[in-house]
Structure 1
Amino acid sequence: MDLLIILAEVSFVIFIFLFVNWLLGRVFKLFLKNSVVKSDGRSLKTLRRNIIGLLILTCLVLCILIVGANGFLIYRGENLQQYTLLLIKRIPSGFWVTLGIGCAQSIGTLILAAIALKFVRYWLKVANIRAKNIEQNTADDQSIDTFFNNLNNIITAGIWLWAVIWCSKFLKVPVVVSEYLYILLRIYLIIAVGLLIPKAITAIIDSLDALSIRYSSPDNLLRFYDRLRHLIPFLKRCLEFVIYICVATLVIQQVQSIANIAVFGPRIVKIVGIIFISRVLFEVVYLLVEEVLFKDQNLNEIQTSRRLTLVPLIRSFLQYLVYFGATVSILYILDINPAPILAGAGILGIAVGFGAQTLINDIVCGFFILFENYYLVGDYIQAGKAEEKLVEGIVEAIELRVTRIRHPNGQLQIIRNGDIGSITNYSKQYIFAVVEVSVPYDSNLTHVYKVIESVGEQLKANEPDVLEPTQVDGVESLGESNLLLRTLTKVKPGKHLHIQRLLRKIFTDALVREEITIPLRIETSEP
């Protein structure tokens, strides 16, 4: 009989251990299923192994103490059955009643939690299906599935934690345990919901993005959406950062010892909001400027070039203005008076200005280039100082400090406005496409002239870029075995290279057709 009593007590301790182990396993399984903490799965598994090890050690110690205590009682000659019954009788009867009611209430709470989870999962499944079918949404359904799966895991873990808290109350567990469980539940829900919101926002933004693209047309405001669509990733990052800051602030407020740090959260949120609004404001104003400048569809080439020249300058000015305003606003949020800083910056700017003469020279030259109309965006120019290598190509942008020129070979050349030097602009009113043709000495020049002029007449009829037919300027030079004829074709600004290449081919075909001997090469003078 004594041995049975000892086995019963040890078995009860082992049963308690197995129940606690099962409960911890369920809790950790819920955590691991939740993508909120899935990235820390290895750490959670390590924590679970450590807790199980501690429980096993505690169970072994208790079993050894039970066996030892009962062995000591047997050694003293005590009757274990009577001794155990006496201990049980000493426990007040109200304790057993309270324990029984608490166990019944706890079992009922767990059953209610399981039933509630069944209903929650069903309605979440219905909501998931309906969300995919709204407006026949073309957005990626995976983001919607991810959102509802995470929401299901969060609600499941929250309900079970709530059930455990109520069970601890029913079983009259010390109040401090319930308080810590409440704090744990609040922190978990704050973090889980806070990390779930970005997924919901992603799904909503993706849906709105798809709908905006579908319903955009040249007749409504959505026609501008495609040009502002690149701001969507920036919007998502800003919203995620704001949510993380809010979550961190709420979590910190739950811990009284560090709650005073939470006052910085709203300030950081305001700073992020100012940065985002500044970026959006800059893009919207820049878009409106382009819309106003190019609204007229009847602009000629010169007007278009002038407006293309103004766009980068306006963009740079707007960028500096908006970011300056954002910086001043951020300083006010941080309770820093910007006036002394701006005054110091002005004095420092004057001091730096004396040493930054090159920068000032570049800016001043940039203004003169614009106001005196030396060249515009789209012009073909050759620029540089005589003692240095000249740059040539099509002007892509004129900024306050530099000019960007695209060489015909494709290289982007960036030259400081102060180093522009002399400028040759091939895009003012007209330009000559100059092609030099070599013919033998024994050629009939009158016939050759007629062939070239005939080619020029044909070219003018077929090419709108040609302003006047090709004319033979005369004999340019006398070679050892050939004559070099110089031809001029008046063309539109910037079209000379294309017409020169076209003329070379046409001249070659025409001379071959007229059985005029062609030297080894056709010499050309490039502008």
Structure 2
Amino acid sequence: MELLLIMAEVSLVIVVFLLVNWVVGKVFKLFLKDSVIQNEKRSIKTLRRNIKGLLILVCLTLCILIVVANGFLLYRGENLQQYTLLLIRRIPPGFWISLGIGIAQSIGLLILAAIALKFVRYWLKVANIRAKNIEQNTADDQSIDTFFNNLNNIITAGIWLWAVIWCSKFLKVPLVVSEYLYILLRIYLIIAIGLLIPKAVTAIIDSLDALSIRYSSPENLLRFYDHLRHLIPFLKRCLEFVIYVCVATLVIQQVQLIANIAVFGPRIVKIIGIIFISRVLFEVVYLLVEEVLFKDQNLTEIQTSRRRTLVPLIRSFLQYLVYFGATVSILYTLEINPTPLLAGAGIVGIAVGFGAQALINDIVCGFFILFENYYLVGDYIQAGKAEEKFVEGVVEAIELRTTRIRHPNGQLQIIHNGDIGSVTNYSKQYIFAVVEVSVPYNSNLVQVYKVIEEVGEQLKANNPDIIEPTQVDGVESLGEVHLLLRTLTKVKPGKHLQLQRVIRKVFMNALQQEGITIPVRVESAEN
């Protein structure tokens, strides 16, 4: 009889161990199903094995203690049955009543939790189907399924953890256990939902992006959206950082030991907001400047060039202004008074300014270039100092310090405004396309002149970039076997290089058709 009693006590301990191990296993399975923490799957499995080993160790220790204690009582000649009954009778009857009520309440709560989960899963399935059937939806079905599966796992784990917490209260478990379970529940929900929100935000932003493109038209404000669309990745990153900072702040607040660090969370969120608003403000203002400058469709070519010249300057000025304001706002957010820093920066700036003469020279020359209208964006120029190599090409941008010039061969040349030197502008009012033609000494110059002038008339009629027909300027030089004739064709600014090639080809074909042999290749000189 004593042996059966000992086996019953050991069996009770084992049953309790198996029940606790089953509950712990269920909790960890819920964690492993949640895809938002799949990156920590190995760590969770390791923790599960460690907890299981600890439970086995505790179970074996209790079984050994039960066997040793009962052996000691038998050694003393005690009746184990009577001794056990005596111990049970010493327990107040209210304890058994409370334990029975607690077990009944726990079973009822677990049943209610299971029923609630059935309803939750049903309505999540309905929501999933409706989300897929929305006409304007642009997200793929797989992303929607992933989102609702993650949401289902989060709700399931949260409900079961909440049920375990209330069961511990019903069973009169020490209060510290319930408190730690509450902390665990809050931390889990904060992290799980915090990792789920970016996916939902991304899906919403992508859907709104597609809708904005679909409904944009020249008549509404959405016509500006395409110019601001490149900010979407930046918006996603900022929102992601904000969510992560909020999650970290809320988790830190749950741990009393480090709760004071949480005060930095709102400041970091404000800094991210300032950076994002600054970037958006800069792009919007720049877009409005372009809209105002180029709103008039009847601008002349010169007016268009002047306004295109102003745009990079305004952009640079706005960029520095917005970034300066953002820096001051960030300093105020960090509770740092920027006034002493700005005063110190001013003193340092003055000291540096005396040594930065080249920088000042570039800026001053840049202003003179703009105000005296030496050249504009789109002009074809040649610039440089006599003792240095000249640069030439189309002006792409005029900034405070530098001018960007695109060479006809394609390379981008950047020259400091202070090093511009003398400027030859080929884009003012008109320019001559100069083409030199070689003809034999025995040629009839009257016939040659007539052919060239007739070809010039045809070129003017067929090409709108030619202002006046080609005129023969005369004999440029006398060679050993040929005469060199110089021709002038008045063309629009910046078109001379392209038209010189066209004119050479047309002249060569026309002269060959008239039986006039060209002894050497066509030569050219540019003014």
The TM-score normalised by the length of structure 2 is 0.95
**What does residue range 407-426 of structure 1 map to in structure 2 within 5 Å?**
407-426=407-426
The one-letter code of the counterpart of 1:109 is L
Q: Does 1:498 align with 2:498?
A: yes
List per-residue Cα deviations over 1:492-520 (Å, max 9, x = no partner).
Answer: 01111111121222223223323332345
Q: Give the match for residue 429 of structure 1.
A: 429
CA contact (8 A) 1:140 1:206 kept: no
Moved more, 483-492 or 358-367: 483-492
List per-residue Cα deviations over 1:315-370 (Å, max 9, x = no partner).
Answer: 11111111111222222222222222222221111111100000000000000000
CA contact (8 A) 1:430 1:493 kept: yes
Cα deviation, residue 230, structure 1 = 1.2
Q: Give the match for residue 191 of structure 1.
A: 191
Cα deviation, residue 78, structure 1 = 4.3
For 2:139 and 2:507, locate their aligned partners in 1 and report how far apart those are by CA, in whole Å: 58
Moved more, 12-21 or 421-430: 12-21
The one-letter code of the counterpart of 1:431 is I
Q: Give the match for residue 96 of structure 2.
A: 96
Q: Give the match for residue 513 of structure 1.
A: 513
Which aligned runs of 4 or more in structure 1 are off by greater than 6 angstroms?
A: none
Give the secondary-structure state (helix, strand or coil) at the position aligned to 1:347: helix
Q: Does 1:525 align with 2:525?
A: yes
Q: Give the match for residue 274 of structure 2.
A: 274
For 2:472 and 2:62, locate their aligned partners in 1 and report how far apart those are by CA, in whole Å: 115
Q: Does 1:47 align with 2:67?
A: no
Give the secondary-structure state (helix, strand or coil) at the position aligned to 1:494: coil
List per-residue Cα deviations over 1:292-335 (Å, max 9, x = no partner).
Answer: 00000111110100000000001111111111112222222222
Closer, same or farther in 2 for the Cα pair 1:76/1:472, shift >3 Å?
A: same
List per-residue Cα deviations over 1:359-405 (Å, max 9, x = no partner).
Answer: 00000000000000000000001111111111111101000000011
Q: Give the match for residue 290 of structure 2.
A: 290
Cα deviation, residue 421, structure 1 = 0.8
Q: Give the match for residue 176 of structure 2.
A: 176
Q: Give the match for residue 346 of structure 1.
A: 346
Q: Does 1:360 align with 2:352?
A: no
For 2:345 and 2:205, locate their aligned partners in 1 and report how far apart those are by CA, in whole Å: 41
For 1:452 and 1:285, locate their aligned partners in 2 and report how far apart those are by CA, in whole Å: 54
Moved more, 319-328 or 502-511: 502-511
CA contact (8 A) 1:381 1:395 kept: yes
Q: Give the match for residue 133 of structure 1.
A: 133
List per-residue Cα deviations over 1:390-423 (Å, max 9, x = no partner).
Answer: 1111101000000011111111111110011111
Moved more, 205-214 or 237-246: 237-246
Q: Give the match for residue 109 of structure 1.
A: 109
The one-letter code of the counterpart of 1:95 is F
The one-letter code of the counterpart of 2:320 is Y
Closer, same or farther in 2 for the Cα pair 1:467/1:131, shift >3 Å?
A: same
List per-residue Cα deviations over 1:20-70 (Å, max 9, x = no partner).
Answer: 222222211211222332222221122112212222222232333333334
CA contact (8 A) 2:395 2:406 kept: yes
List per-residue Cα deviations over 1:152-176 (Å, max 9, x = no partner).
Answer: 2211111111001011011110011
Give the secondary-structure state (helix, strand or coil) at the position aligned to 1:146: helix
CA contact (8 A) 2:136 2:211 kept: no
For 1:103 and 1:42, locate their aligned partners in 2 and report how far apart those are by CA, in whole Å: 35
The one-letter code of the counterpart of 1:219 is E
Q: Give the match for residue 481 of structure 1.
A: 481
**What does residue range 47-86 of structure 1 map to in structure 2 within 5 Å?**
47-86=47-86
For 1:214 and 1:400, locate their aligned partners in 2 and report how far apart those are by CA, in whole Å: 40
For 1:140 and 1:312, locate their aligned partners in 2 and report how far apart those are by CA, in whole Å: 41
CA contact (8 A) 2:377 2:398 kept: yes
CA contact (8 A) 1:456 1:469 kept: yes
Root-mean-square deviation (CA, aligned residues, Å) is 2.0
For 2:140 and 2:392, locate their aligned partners in 1 and report how far apart those are by CA, in whole Å: 49
Cα deviation, residue 116, structure 1 = 0.8
The TM-score normalised by the length of structure 1 is 0.95
Closer, same or farther in 2 for the Cα pair 1:512/1:72, shift >3 Å?
A: farther
List per-residue Cα deviations over 1:116-139 (Å, max 9, x = no partner).
Answer: 111111111222222333343234
List per-residue Cα deviations over 1:64-123 (Å, max 9, x = no partner).
Answer: 333333444444454444444444343333323222221221121111111111111111
For 1:504 and 1:11, locate their aligned partners in 2 and report how far apart those are by CA, in whole Å: 108
**What does residue range 126-275 of structure 1 map to in structure 2 within 5 Å?**
126-275=126-275
Moved more, 324-333 or 401-410: 324-333
For 1:186 and 1:455, locate their aligned partners in 2 and report how far apart those are by CA, in whole Å: 88
For 1:135 and 1:256, locate their aligned partners in 2 and report how far apart those are by CA, in whole Å: 48
Q: Give the match for residue 5 of structure 1.
A: 5
CA contact (8 A) 1:381 1:425 kept: yes
**What does residue range 378-457 of structure 1 map to in structure 2 within 5 Å?**
378-457=378-457
Moved more, 226-235 or 335-344: 335-344
Closer, same or farther in 2 for the Cα pair 1:139/1:503, shift >3 Å?
A: farther
Q: Give the match for residue 123 of structure 2.
A: 123
Q: Give the gaps of 5 or more residues in structure 1.
A: none
CA contact (8 A) 1:466 1:492 kept: yes
Q: Give the match for residue 468 of structure 2.
A: 468
Moved more, 116-125 or 438-447: 438-447
Closer, same or farther in 2 for the Cα pair 1:170/1:471, shift >3 Å?
A: same
The one-letter code of the counterpart of 1:145 is D
The one-letter code of the counterpart of 2:243 is I
Give the secondary-structure state (helix, strand or coil) at the position aligned to 1:394: strand
Give the secondary-structure state (helix, strand or coil) at the position aligned to 2:522: coil
Percentage of identical aligned residues = 86
Q: Give the match for residue 370 of structure 1.
A: 370
Q: Give the gaps of 5 or more residues in structure 2.
A: none
The one-letter code of the counterpart of 1:515 is G
Give the secondary-structure state (helix, strand or coil) at the position aligned to 1:449: helix
Give aligned pairs, total: 527
